[in-house]
């Protein structure tokens, strides 16, 4: 049988991360894959928590099967949380992967580089989508932005539910109710969505970011931008992300932000630096200056937290202030989170498919940034450095077509 006649199969296992309700592919996303000449097999009940039945997938043209059969049949695997992003349960899948398979998903390679070595040993080509470059061509594939938008929205809803006061100003027969004061720290995608949602609910919103270039975006949403007497000319890192600063900068920043935090009913922290521990923006002393029954929602809890008191998956109460270390908020809105994720991951794969076959072009910026393991080794420079491995050759090899590795091969 010729290489051109081999039909590739996309496999979608059910997510095994505790509390994960998303699915990597929804029925409506199967059509474009089929049109490109790809088959789809999905584990039974993989989409149930997100609102998609096995019958929905069958009607869209997918085959429903067992987990072992999905791994055995697939040339390409879509997962929401794989490898380091599913560090506890993900290791149990390691023996199901085989040489020549592509794995595409969120992999958190910096936190668990040893798991990436395990995938390399299995001969898997692993694409960690959180490493996508911030370029125009990658916007439709940007899973981090999609999920951050949901997290920012849901953080405000959680705050509105838990805060013992109303968000909007109200004129009532019983008197005027003053609006809640919300302070958003970090104006990336999550922060902007948090600002917009809090404003829609009627709160008075302030926001801060070390990148002064985001001021206009904050003002456009009707919030006030907090400006500090700090040198921030070089605060923007690669791809527009905030750059990690030294401890003296953060110390001075905390000192200047103390008063703003102390005046806030709700503080939502969103600051994260890719590949690094989240910066500590709010100290325990700052929390103690907040009003009684105030609330801090820490969206960076999974990366260590922006608040000194944050504990992932817990709510800590300090001097009457609650600090919620929320984790994996997108999974609490699984229907639309899965819809957005499926669009992102499908678009990424289709950018690497030509005439129904995989065409791995390692000179492509999308590939060179996201490809962590390939052909039996860890190939991503930063992960190799973390693992203490020597640099790989700087000249990428020519485009490859790995699709001849069929089931069991």
Q: Which residues have a catalytic role annotated? A: 134, 139, 142, 145, 241
**Rounded Cα–Cα distance for residues 99 and 94 (Å):** 11
**Rounded Cα–Cα distance for residues 206 and 183 (Å):** 5
CB 152 within 8 A of CB 192: yes
Q: Counting Cβ atoms within 10 Å, is residue 3 exposed (0-12), middle (13-18) or buried (19+)?
A: exposed
Region for 327 from its dihedrals, namely left if φ exceeds 0, alpha if ψ lies in -120 to 50, beta otherwise: beta
Q: Which helix (H) or strand (E) holds 191?
A: helix 189-200
**Rounded Cα–Cα distance for residues 117 and 138 (Å):** 26
CB 160 within 8 A of CB 138: no
Q: Around Cβ 58, how many Cβ atoms within 10 Å?
A: 13
**Rounded Cα–Cα distance for residues 313 and 301 (Å):** 8
What is the number of alpha carbons within 13 Å of residue 320 lying toward its C-beta? 9
Q: How many H-runs (helices) and E-runs (strands) does the chain carry?
A: 12, 19
């Amino acid at each position: 049988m010729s290489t051109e006649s081999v039909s590739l199969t996309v496999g979608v296992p059910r997510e095994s991360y505790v509390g994960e309700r998303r699915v990597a592919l929804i029925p409506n996303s199967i059509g474009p894959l089929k049109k490109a000449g790809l088959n789809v097999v999905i584990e039974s009940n993989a989409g149930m928590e997100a609102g998609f039945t096995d019958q929905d997938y069958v009607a869209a043209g997918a085959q429903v099967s067992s987990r072992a059969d999905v791994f055995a049949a697939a040339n390409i695997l879509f997962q929401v949380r794989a490898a380091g992003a599913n560090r506890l349960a993900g290791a149990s899948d390691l023996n199901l992967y085989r040489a020549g398979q592509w794995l595409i998903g969120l992999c958190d390679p910096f936190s668990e580089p040893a798991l990436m070595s395990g995938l390399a040993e299995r001969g898997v080509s692993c694409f960690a989508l959180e490493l996508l470059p911030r370029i125009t061509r990658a916007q439709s594939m940007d899973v981090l932005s999609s999920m951050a938008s949901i997290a920012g929205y849901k953080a405000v809803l959680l705050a509105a539910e838990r805060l013992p006061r109303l968000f909007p100003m109200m004129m009532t027969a019983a008197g005027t109710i003053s609006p809640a004061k919300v302070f958003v720290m970090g104006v990336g995608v999550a922060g902007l969505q948090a600002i917009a949602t809090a404003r829609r609910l009627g709160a008075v919103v302030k926001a801060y970011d070390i990148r002064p270039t985001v001021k206009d975006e904050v003002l456009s949403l009707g919030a006030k931008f907090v400006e500090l007497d700090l040198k921030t000319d070089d605060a923007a890192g690669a791809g527009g992300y905030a750059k990690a600063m030294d401890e003296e900068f953060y110390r001075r920043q905390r000192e200047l932000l103390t008063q703003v935090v102390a005046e806030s009913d709700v503080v939502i922290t969103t600051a994260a630096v890719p590949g690094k521990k989240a910066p500590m923006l709010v100290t325990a002393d700052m929390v103690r200056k907040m009003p009684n029954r105030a609330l801090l929602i820490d969206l960076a809890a999974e990366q260590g937290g922006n608040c000194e008191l944050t504990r992932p998956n817990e709510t800590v109460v300090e001097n009457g202030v609650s600090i919620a270390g929320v984790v994996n908020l997108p999974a609490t809105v699984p229907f639309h989170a899965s819809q957005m994720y499926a669009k992102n991951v499908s678009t990424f794969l289709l950018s690497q498919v030509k005439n129904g076959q995989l065409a791995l072009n390692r000179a492509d910026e999308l590939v060179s940034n996201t490809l962590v393991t390939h052909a039996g080794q860890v190939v991503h420079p930063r992960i190799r450095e973390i693992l203490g491995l020597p640099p790989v050759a700087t000249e990428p090899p020519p485009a490859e077509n790995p699709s001849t590795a069929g089931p069991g091969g």
